Amino acid sequence: MPVSEANQRSQLDAFTDHVTALLADPSTPHGLARTLRATAKEIALARDHQASQKAWPNGHIDETPTHVQIGGGTHHIDGFFNIDAVPPADLLWDVREGIPLHDASVQVLFSEHFLEHIDYPHSAKHYAREAHRVLSPGGQVITGVPDAAHVLNQYPAPPTQAAEMIDRWYANRTCRGDINTYLDLINYVFRDQDDDPTYNPHYWAYDAEKLTQLFAEAGFTHIEPWPFDATIANPKREWASIYVVATR
């Protein structure tokens, strides 16, 4: 028998209180604390997603934006409607559950350093299929991710190469002291850890070949490298990232 919405909220509230208490307890084992942090994040995402879902139970919002950014966070693009699972956003929505837009309604769908933060294959392939569904004929999905090929092609790397990557990607992270070898950098790119609650882990790594295969499988027939455009993309993301554009 399905749990009512009110009962589900009540259960989530009670569970969240219990998780918070366990995380505040220094005796909670490290492994359990990591799992509980991930669980707390998912509960918070689910709450916001369910609130939006309540407003649009058919999974499609009333608006029909033609230029859409997915997972942009604080990166604002003029003229783009931003959908994200966390604020700030024009719409709080978990796109792992689908893109809440109408069929063939979008001209440009843009994301950067988002795809690696959702699980593969289920959510990543579902996102690619949803991108194909919401794009109008001739519409484009532009996707940027950390370039796994760039990182792997440097291995084994000299200390100067590792230092540049650390400064560019991890300057504001507490993990800098734990990046002791270049292989540590590779591990962070492939599976960035979640010990810092400010950051979300990486679930999958991509290169140009993998991005091409992902969108081809979703039905796109024309996929090519995207020339970096700082009027849309975040200039801080250009270094060691790979961008492709897939046209419907």
pLDDT at 171: 79
What is the greatest pairwise CA distance in the chain?
60
Average pLDDT over residues 130-134: 98
What whole-number distance in Å separates Cα of residue 166 and Cα of residue 66? 37
| 77-to-54, 131, 231 alpha-carbon distances in Å | 27, 19, 8
Kindly state the percentage of the chain with pLDDT values over 90: 67
pLDDT at 1 over 70: no
Q: pTM of the predicted model, to two decimals?
A: 0.92
Give the tens place of pLDDT for each residue, 137-163: 999 999 999 999 999 998 988 777 788
What is residue 60's predicted lDDT score, i.e. its pLDDT? 96
Please indicate whether residue 176 or residue 90 has the higher confidence score (pLDDT).
Answer: 90
* pLDDT tens profile 228-244: 999 999 999 999 999 99
Instruction: Please state, in angstroms and rounded to a whole number, the distance separating the CA atoms of residues 241 and 227.
Output: 12
Give the pLDDT confidence of 42-74 residue by residue, as tens digits: 999 999 999 999 999 999 999 999 999 999 999
pLDDT above 70 as % of the chain: 96
- Return the pLDDT at 2: 59
